[in-house]
Structures are given as structure tokens and as C-alpha cells.
């Protein structure tokens, strides 16, 4: 009889293989697609390989849903074994081969869709899968007996389908062997491929395998009392999710998607072991428990990228899985039994996969709109389940979809819940009796919706934590990259030295651009400035022009989107500490430790900049006298006026004698005497060979004390001129400024415009 199965399998294998070779010559092979092109299931028949993979899936489904395996009833390899008590080795070999075959088959049928985007599976599809299919072909009698027991000795329809299925899989795997290009890359590559396949095999674990190999195990270890085993099982769910996330989160999108698709499909197949064609015609057996639906939803959303369906499972299925794991209905079964493993595989995946889909960035984070839609969908699902429970109870009293038809949950909550459940409502439709528990079921729905809102809150908190972690990780990576670049640039010099010592005493911005993540336009774009020591440089522009953005980037308060900034030879990004040591900064909105005295605060700032005791005492005494703060310097700053606090801020920016003194609107709110004192301090600091860089709206002050100015509007520098040059032209600075502002009506540079400009530069 097995000769017939061999002939069917061999004939199909040869026929399909020849068809694949012939058809592939008439089509552009998918290997010629651009590297990195994403896979798609929308055109599933776009290549012979994909069509063959679909054919295999159809045959697999028909055979798989044809009934249970004989090995599913086997305990410890010999009890109830289709190979008999003396067939232990045969049962072991058949069990392991069937298990491994599932992993090889899943790789084989998914490879045509992901061969360009997930290269890591190429060696498995090329070498491992053909070997597994070939071994399965040789061992077909053992596999057939393991599936159908004594029926394997007869011509049985399911085994005929299996022979067809195996023939198609063997042909497709041999086609991959001959057509897939893969160059071995050493022992590390082989080890990596082996580990990947081992992981794939573990993921494909059929729930009946543990009891088949080892027996059902102890029935004394219950998991419904939060004992140590139960708690470890719950902790394991979280640990497994974290492990999968950190294993894949750094890979490209299609690799992450493939990993989750493989896991979800494998676990869906494992979950369906106890379902067959009779399930479709027996509504009482339909898998419409809330957690059961997740087994089918996740593969669908990953294949077709159905985001709307996904958000339902994220908010609804996950919550149901959590409750199921806390209150499992697995009493009085062995720890290794099929039902135990099926339950935990089901609920682990219903809990983990929706969260992993969002944590690995397969879909965008949900907004309140998606959450609302998921609740509306849940309402529809809940009404459907209420109807199914009430209707099907007429045929099977044990029907209890979503556990809202029995007292399974009520008895765990206490007598009050059971009393509420005792309130019933019954009505007849023909000969059928429909029984509802209106208050209990309404309360159940209300509580579930409330807990869904709690899930929304937890997700939001998790997203915030994830954002912080991402920012920290990206910042750490950037620091490491900048440090490496700095070491290369310094070429063996001390890390404390400026990167470009020839620019000591200068402030330089090269093609500096800044865009905030929430904005579609640049706050500053392609800014180029070079300011020499000894200059007072005025920075002019209307409100929102980008002055404060540029200043905050110079002093290191915010990051640089692109370009470079140098302060006295120190790179602001790569040598942030060294650059800050060269800067004294007076912000437009300052904050002081007002419980300190003025002197204490100045000493605190001096400590931060490692100013020696002698230098700080000399400078503080000079500042106190110049700004006339002798009577107040030793009083708490909370007693100071606005002008006095402004003076302390100016003094703190100068206590370390910076090469670059930056002031953002420093004269706002000061009286005329204080303004005069600040201007004199600027002039004196510049006379020492330092740079004074300040923004202001007071044109007269800029015109009287500045050597050079720059005018900025909507993030772009309109001009950079010397004040003397403007005066020689006979045009007052105020009119020159207004002409420049009014004459430029260009909008801010958008992201698309910037990308086009950069592309043009690259082309040149």
C-alpha cells in the first residue's frame, strides 16, 4: 500500500518541479528585484514559487483538518502507541520528524514571499528544508502510521492528500536548493542558521508532543491557585515577551514582521490540532472564545497588514488572555498533557503577540480613535457571543463562550456575583429557549470596558517608558559614534584638546539646520556663520525667526539636526563638555537657586567650571563693584529685584572668563543704568579678544555697540554684514533691517524642500 503513496508523492514532486523550472524561465525571477524591496501577499500568484506555496498550504489544510493524529493519544512513546509497545524507537522517530517537518514546511512556504527581505532564512530554505522533506519522503510509512495508525495499511484519503502535500513540498524545497543563491560565510554563519532553525522547531512544538514523549506528568501541580508553579508560568510570559522583543527590535521592519508572522502561524497550527472539519458544521465547537480568536487574527493582520483588525486584538484579546492566565480552567490535568500545553500556548500568544506587534513597530501606536473602534467591535462581538451562548445551550448545556454563560467567573468572585447571576431572563423563539443573565452579563461587559480603559492607560505609560528608553539608547549610540569620530579626528592628540585648534577663539556654524520632530518645517536651515574673536556680534530677526533655536543649539541645550557648530575649535556635538567650558550663556528666561545668596550662587557656578579660588574672588569682587551689588550680594536672591537677578545671571556667565559670551535678549526689563553697565561689560569682554554674541530687538543698541550683525527670518540667514559697511552706505540700520525683512517673503523651508535641496547637492 505504501508503494502507492510513494508513487503519488514522487510523481507529484517531479511534475511540480518541472513546472516550476519551466514557468520560472518565462517570468522575471524574484531575485532580480531591488535589494530591500518589501514582501507582499497581495499578488500571491505573481511567481510560480508563490503559487506552489499556496498549493502546499491548501493541501496541508485539507489533510490537517481531516482528524486527529494517532500519536496524539500516545503516552510515553508506548502506551496507546500506533506502533505498539515494542515500537518505542519508531514512535520517537515519527514524533520528532513530524515536529521538525512543520518547521521546515513553514520556512518553505514563506520563503518565496520574503526571500529578498529576510536573507537569514535563505540557508535554511536552501539546505535544511530539502533535507527534512527528503527524510520525510524516505520515512513516509512511519509518518503515515503516526498520523492514522492502522489506517496507514489501507488506501486512506487523508494519506493520499499527505502524499500530494509531501510531493509539492519536496519539489518546492528542491527548487529552492537549486535556485537560491547563498554563499557560505564561515562557521559563525552556520551556527547562526542552526540556532535560527532550532528556534523555529521549538516554536512549532505540537501540544501533544510532551505527553507523547514523556507521558501526562503529575496532576498535583495545579495552576489555578497562584502557587509557585502558577506564578512562574505568569512570569514566564513576561520574560518570553521581553526576550523576543530584545532579540528582534534592532532588525529591519520586514525581518521583525517575518519573525512575528512565523511565530503566530506556527502557534496557530499548534492550536488547531484538536479541530477538524466537523468543527465547521458543529457551532458548539467553534473557536470563538475571545483568546481563541487571537490565534487567527494575528496571522491575518501580519499577512495583509490589517491594522484596524489589529487594534481590536491589542485592546480586547490581550485583556482576555491576562484574565485567562490568572484564572485558568486546567484543573485535574497532567502538567505535560496536551490540554495543558494547548491552553498555555494559546493564552501566551494571545497575550504576547499583539503587544510584540506594537513594541516591534509593525503598526503605529494606537490613538483614541482606534481604541474607540476596538470597543465598538467588542460590543458587536459580545452581542454575538451572547446570542450564540443562548442559542446553542439548547443543544449542549456546556456551551460557555467567553465564560459568560456559566458561573465559572462568578464563583471566583464570591456569593454576591453568584446572586446577581441568579437573576435570569428567558424567552422562546419557536421551540428554542433563550436564557440570559441580564444584570450579570451587563456588569461583565461594563467591567471589561472599564478594564480596557485601564489597558489604554498602561499602554500609554509603556509607550512613554519606551520613548525614554529609545531616546537614551539613541543618545548613547550617538555619543559612542561621536567619541570614535573624535578619536579619529584628533589623531592621537589628547581628548581635552580642541578638534580644530586653528579655530581657537572663533564661533563657526557650518550648514547648520534644526527641525523639531513634531514639525514639518525647519526652524533653522543651512545656517553658515563665522565670528572672530574680539567682535560683538548682533543677531537680529522678528519673533519666531529662529534666533533662540540657533543659540540653544550652540550652547548644547538641544540637538543639531544636521551640520556642525564649533566653539573655539571644540565641536559642540563631539566635544560637548569642552565646548560648554568655552561658553558663558545668559538665557532670555533664567532660573536661579533663589534660596542662595548672590555670592553663594556665583561660587557654585565657579565650582562647576573649575575656577580657582583666587580668580573667582577677584572676578566676583570686580563684578559686584561694577554692577553695584555690594549691599545685596550676601542676601538671599529671593529678596532681589528683577534687575538684580539679571545682573547675577550676567555675572555667573562671566565668572569663568569664557571665550564666547552668548546673550539672548539680555536687556529686556533692565533700567537705563543697568543697560549701560551691561553694554560696558560687553565692550570690555570683546576688548580681551573674546566673542560677544547676542540677540536683541533694540536696533539702536545693536547699531551702537556691534561690529557685525546677521539678520534671520523664518530660519534662514538673509545677510551677514559689518555695521561700519551699513553705515557707509548711508542707510540707517533700522531701515536696512526692515528692508531685508520686508523684502523676503519666502516661507520656512519644509522637509520636502530640504530633501530636494540635499538631493540636488548630492547629484552635483
| Residue positions counted in the chain | 764
Rounded Cα–Cα distance for residues 749 and 376 (Å): 42
Query: Which pLDDT score is estimated for 45?
Result: 56
Rounded Cα–Cα distance for residues 292 and 707 (Å): 75
Does residue 374 carry a pLDDT above 60?
Answer: yes
pLDDT band at residue 690 under the 50/70/90 scheme: very high
DSSP 635-693: SBGGGS-HHHHHHHHHHHHHTT--SEEEEESTTTT--HHHHHHHHHHHHHHHHTT-EEE
Place of cell 560683538: 536
Residue 280, CB-side half-sphere exposure with 13 Å CA sphere: 6
Query: Which pLDDT score is estimated for 185?
Result: 66
Rounded Cα–Cα distance for residues 705 and 427 (Å): 93
Query: Which pLDDT score is estimated for 751?
Result: 64
The pLDDT tens digits for 174-207 are: 999 998 776 666 778 888 889 999 999 999 999 9
Place of cell 503577540: 353
Mean pLDDT of 151-168: 93
Contacts of 638 (CB under 8 A, 6+ apart): 594, 595
Contacts of 33 (CB under 8 A, 6+ apart): 116
Q: Of 172, 170, 148, which is closest to residue 159 (Cα–Cα)?
A: 148
Residues 161/66, Cβ–Cβ less than 8 Å: yes
Do strands 660-664 and 583-586 pair parallel, antiparallel, or not at all (unpaired)?
parallel
The residue among 479 and 343 whose pLDDT is bigger is 343
Rounded Cα–Cα distance for residues 718 and 411 (Å): 76
- pTM to 2 decimals? 0.71
Enter the C-alpha cell of residue 527: 545656517
Query: Which pLDDT score is estimated for 220?
Result: 74
Q: What are phi and psi of 539, to 5 degrees?
A: -115, 110
Reduced to 3 states (helix: H, G, I; strand: E, B; else coil), residue 87 is: coil
Query: Which pLDDT score is estimated for 32?
Result: 43
Q: Of 270, 382, 390, which is closest to residue 319 (Cα–Cα)?
A: 382
Does residue 566 carry a pLDDT above 90?
Answer: yes
pLDDT more than 70, % of the chain: 94
The residue among 348 and 31 whose pLDDT is bigger is 348
Does residue 29 carry a pLDDT above 50?
Answer: no
Rounded Cα–Cα distance for residues 677 and 647 (Å): 9
Report in angstroms the alpha-carbon separations of 349 from 72, 204, 266, 292, 405: 22, 13, 11, 10, 25
Residues 111/57, Cβ–Cβ less than 8 Å: no
pLDDT band at residue 665 under the 50/70/90 scheme: confident
Enter the C-alpha cell of residue 427: 424567552
Distance of CA 247 to the CA centre of its chain: 12
Query: What own/partner pairs with CB < 8 Å and gap ≥ 24 does 746-753 have?
Result: 746/714, 746/716, 747/521, 747/714, 748/521, 748/522, 748/523, 748/525, 748/714, 748/715, 749/521, 749/522, 749/525, 749/526, 749/714, 749/715, 749/716, 750/520, 750/521, 750/522, 751/515, 751/520, 751/521, 751/522
Alpha-helical segments (H) within 688-718: 699-705
Enter the C-alpha cell of residue 296: 487567527
From the CB of residue 330, how many other CB atoms can be counted at a distance below 10 Å?
A: 19
pLDDT band at residue 33 under the 50/70/90 scheme: very low
Query: Which pLDDT score is estimated for 230?
Result: 87
Name the residue ranges covered by the structural domains of the chain: 1-215, 219-264+276-362, 365-462, 505-763
Average pLDDT, the chain: 88
Mean pLDDT of 90-116: 95
Query: Which pLDDT score is estimated for 113?
Result: 92
Does residue 481 carry a pLDDT above 60?
Answer: yes
- Residues 205, 211, 217, 223: is their CA dihedral positive or negative? positive
- Which of the residue ranges 12-16, 187-191, 412-416, 725-729 would you say has the lowest mean pLDDT? 187-191
The pLDDT tens digits for 262-320 are: 999 999 999 998 888 888 888 888 888 888 888 999 999 999 888 888 988 888 889 88
Does residue 44 carry a pLDDT above 80?
Answer: no
**Structure-derived torsion over alpha carbons of residues 526, 527, 530, 535, reported in degrees to the nearest 10:** 180
Rounded Cα–Cα distance for residues 24 and 433 (Å): 60
Q: Of 271, 102, 291, 300, which is closest to residue 202 (Cα–Cα)?
A: 102
Q: Of 175, 172, 170, 94, which is closest to residue 134 (Cα–Cα)?
A: 170
- Residues 72, 73, 77, 83: is their CA dihedral positive or negative? negative
Rounded Cα–Cα distance for residues 92 and 89 (Å): 5
SS (H, E, C) 280-319: HHCHHHCCCCHHHHHHHHHHHHHHHCCHHHHHHHHHHHHH
Radius of gyration of the chain from Cα atoms? 37
DSSP-derived letter for residue 329 is -
Mean pLDDT of 625-636: 91
Contacts of 52 (CB under 8 A, 6+ apart): 16, 20, 112, 168, 171, 172, 175
Query: Which pLDDT score is estimated for 328?
Result: 85
Distance of CA 567 to the CA centre of its chain: 37
Rounded Cα–Cα distance for residues 48 and 713 (Å): 59
The pLDDT tens digits for 248-276 are: 988 999 999 999 999 999 999 999 988 88
Mean pLDDT of 657-662: 94
Q: Of 405, 380, 410, which is closest to residue 390 (Cα–Cα)?
A: 405
Mean pLDDT of 60-82: 92
Architecture of domain 505-763: 3-Layer(aba) Sandwich (3.40)
pLDDT more than 90, % of the chain: 56
Query: Which pLDDT score is estimated for 182?
Result: 67
The pLDDT tens digits for 381-409 are: 999 999 999 999 999 988 999 889 988 88
Q: What burial class does residue 486 get, using C-beta atoms within 10 Å of its C-beta: 0-12 exposed, 13-18 middle, 19+ buried?
A: middle
Contacts of 409 (CB under 8 A, 6+ apart): 327, 403, 417, 444
Query: Which pLDDT score is estimated for 549?
Result: 92
Contacts of 260 (CB under 8 A, 6+ apart): 298, 302, 353, 356, 357, 360, 362
Place of cell 540707517: 732
Rounded Cα–Cα distance for residues 167 and 161 (Å): 10
Query: Which pLDDT score is estimated for 347?
Result: 92
pLDDT band at residue 43 under the 50/70/90 scheme: low
pLDDT band at residue 330 under the 50/70/90 scheme: confident
Mean pLDDT of 577-599: 91
pLDDT band at residue 35 under the 50/70/90 scheme: very low
Q: What burial class does residue 421 get, using C-beta atoms within 10 Å of its C-beta: 0-12 exposed, 13-18 middle, 19+ buried?
A: buried
DSSP 17-82: HHHHHHHHHTS--GGGSPTTPPP-STTTTSSHHHHHHHHHHHHHHHHHTT---GGGG-BTTTBT-T
Amino acid at each position: 500500500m505504501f508503494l502507492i503513496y510513494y508513487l503519488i508523492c514522487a510523481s507529484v514532486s517531479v511534475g511540480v518541479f518541472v513546472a516550476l523550472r519551466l514557468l520560472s524561465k518565462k517570468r522575471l525571477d524574484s531575485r532580480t528585484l531591488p535589494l530591500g524591496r518589501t514582501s507582499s501577499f497581495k499578488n500571491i500568484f505573481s511567481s510560480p514559487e508563490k503559487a506552489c506555496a499556496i498549493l502546499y498550504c491548501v493541501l496541508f489544510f485539507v489533510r490537517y483538518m481531516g482528524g486527529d493524529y494517532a500519536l496524539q493519544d500516545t503516552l510515553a512513546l508506548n502506551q496507546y502507541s500506533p506502533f505498539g509497545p515494542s515500537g518505542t524507537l519508531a514512535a520517537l522517530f515519527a514524533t520528532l520528524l513530524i515536529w521538525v517537518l512543520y518547521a521546515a514546511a513553514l520556512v518553505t512556504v514563506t520563503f518565496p514571499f520574503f526571500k529578498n527581505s529576510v536573507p537569514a532564512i535563505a540557508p535554511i530554505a536552501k539546505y535544511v528544508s530539502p533535507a527534512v522533506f527528503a527524510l520525510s519522503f524516505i520515512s513516509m510509512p512511519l509518518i503515515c502510521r503516526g498520523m492514522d495508525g492502522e489506517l496507514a495499511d489501507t488506501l486512506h484519503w487523508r494519506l493520499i492528500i499527505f502524499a500530494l502535500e509531501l510531493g509539492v513540498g519536496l519539489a518546492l524545497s528542491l527548487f529552492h536548493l537549486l535556485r537560491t543563491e547563498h554563499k557560505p560565510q564561515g562557521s559563525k554563519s552556520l551556527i547562526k542558521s542552526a540556532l535560527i532553525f532550532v528556534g523555529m522547531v521549538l516554536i512549532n512544538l505540537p501540544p501533544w508532543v510532551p505527553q507523547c514523549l514523556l507521558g501526562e506528568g503529575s496532576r498535583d501541580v495545579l495552576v489555578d491557585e497562584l502557587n509557585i508553579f502558577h506564578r512562574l508560568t505568569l512570569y514566564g510570559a513576561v520574560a518570553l515577551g521581553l526576550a523576543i522583543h530584545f532579540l528582534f527590535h534592532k532588525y529591519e521592519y520586514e525581518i521583525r514582521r517575518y519573525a512575528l508572522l512565523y511565530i503566530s502561524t506556527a502557534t496557530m497550527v499548534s492550536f488547531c490540532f484538536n479541530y477538524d472539519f466537523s468543527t465547521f458544521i458543529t457551532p458548539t465547537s467553534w473557536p470563538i472564545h475571545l483568546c481563541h480568536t487571537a490565534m487567527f487574527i494575528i496571522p491575518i493582520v501580519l499577512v495583509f497588514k490589517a491594522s484596524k483588525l489589529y487594534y481590536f486584538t491589542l485592546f480586547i484579546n490581550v485583556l482576555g488572555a491576562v484574565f485567562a492566565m490568572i484564572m485558568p480552567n486546567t484543573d485535574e490535568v497532567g502538567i505535560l498533557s496536551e490540554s495543558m500545553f494547548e491552553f498555555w500556548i494559546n493564552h501566551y500568544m494571545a497575550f504576547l503577540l499583539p503587544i510584540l506587534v506594537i513594541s516591534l513597530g509593525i503598526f503605529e501606536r494606537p490613538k483614541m480613535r482606534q481604541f474607540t473602534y476596538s470597543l465598538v467591535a467588542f460590543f458587536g462581538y459580545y452581542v454575538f457571543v451572547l446570542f450564540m451562548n443562548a442559542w446553542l445551550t439548547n443543544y449542549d448545556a456546556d456551551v460557555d463562550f467567553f465564560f459568560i454563560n456559566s458561573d465559572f467567573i462568578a464563583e471566583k468572585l464570591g456569593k454576591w456575583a453568584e446572586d446577581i447571576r441568579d437573576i435570569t431572563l428567558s424567552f422562546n423563539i419557536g421551540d428554542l429557549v433563550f436564557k440570559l443573565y441580564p444584570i450579570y452579563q451587563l456588569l461583565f461587559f461594563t467591567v471589561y470596558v472599564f478594564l480596557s480603559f485601564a489597558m489604554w492607560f498602561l499602554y500609554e505609560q509603556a509607550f512613554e517608558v519606551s520613548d525614554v528608553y529609545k531616546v537614551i539608547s539613541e543618545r548613547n549610540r550617538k555619543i559612542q559614534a561621536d567619541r570614535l569620530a573624535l578619536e579619529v579626528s584628533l589623531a592621537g592628540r589628547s581628548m581635552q584638546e580642541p578638534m580644530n585648534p586653528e579655530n581657537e577663539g572663533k564661533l563657526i556654524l557650518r550648514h547648520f539646520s534644526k527641525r523639531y520632530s513634531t514639525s514639518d518645517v525647519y526652524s533653522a536651515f543651512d545656517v553658515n556663520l563665522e565670528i572672530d574673536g574680539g567682535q560683538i556680534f548682533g543677531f537680529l530677526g522678528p519673533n519666531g525667526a529662529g534666533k533662540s533655536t540657533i543659540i540653544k543649539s550652540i550652547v548644547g541645550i538641544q540637538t543639531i539636526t544636521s551640520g556642525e557648530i564649533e566653539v573655539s575649535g571644540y565641536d559642540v556635538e563631539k566635544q560637548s563638555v569642552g565646548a560648554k567650558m568655552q561658553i558663558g550663556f545668559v538665557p532670555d528666561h533664567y532660573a536661579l537657586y533663589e534660596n542662595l545668596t548672590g555670592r553663594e550662587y556665583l561660587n557654585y557656578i565657579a565650582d562647576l567650571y573649575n575656577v580657582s579660588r583666587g580668580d573667582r574672588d577677584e572676578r566676583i569682587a570686580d563684578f559686584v563693584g561694577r554692577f553695584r551689588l555690594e549691599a545685596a550680594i550676601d542676601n538671599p536672591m529671593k529678596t532681589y529685584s528683577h534687575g538684580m537677578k539679571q545682573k547675577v545671571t550676567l555675572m555667573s556667565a562671566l565668572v569663568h572668563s569664557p571665550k564666547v559670551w552668548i546673550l539672548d535678549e539680555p536687556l529686556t526689563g533692565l533700567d537705563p543704568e543697568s543697560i549701560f553697565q551691561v553694554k560696558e561689560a560687553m565692550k570690555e569682554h570683546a576688548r580681551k579678544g573674546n566673542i560677544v554674541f547676542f540677540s536683541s530687538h533694540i536696533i539702536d543698541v545693536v547699531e551702537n555697540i556691534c561690529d557685525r550683525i546677521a539678520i534671520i527670518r523664518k530660519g534662514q540667514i538673509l545677510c551677514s554684514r559689518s555695521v561700519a559697511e551699513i553705515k557707509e552706505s548711508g542707510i540707517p540700520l533700522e531701515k536696512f533691517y526692515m528692508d531685508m525683512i520686508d523684502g523676503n517673503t519666502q516661507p520656512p523651508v519644509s522637509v520636502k524642500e530640504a530633501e530636494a535641496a540635499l538631493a540636488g547637492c548630492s547629484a552635483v
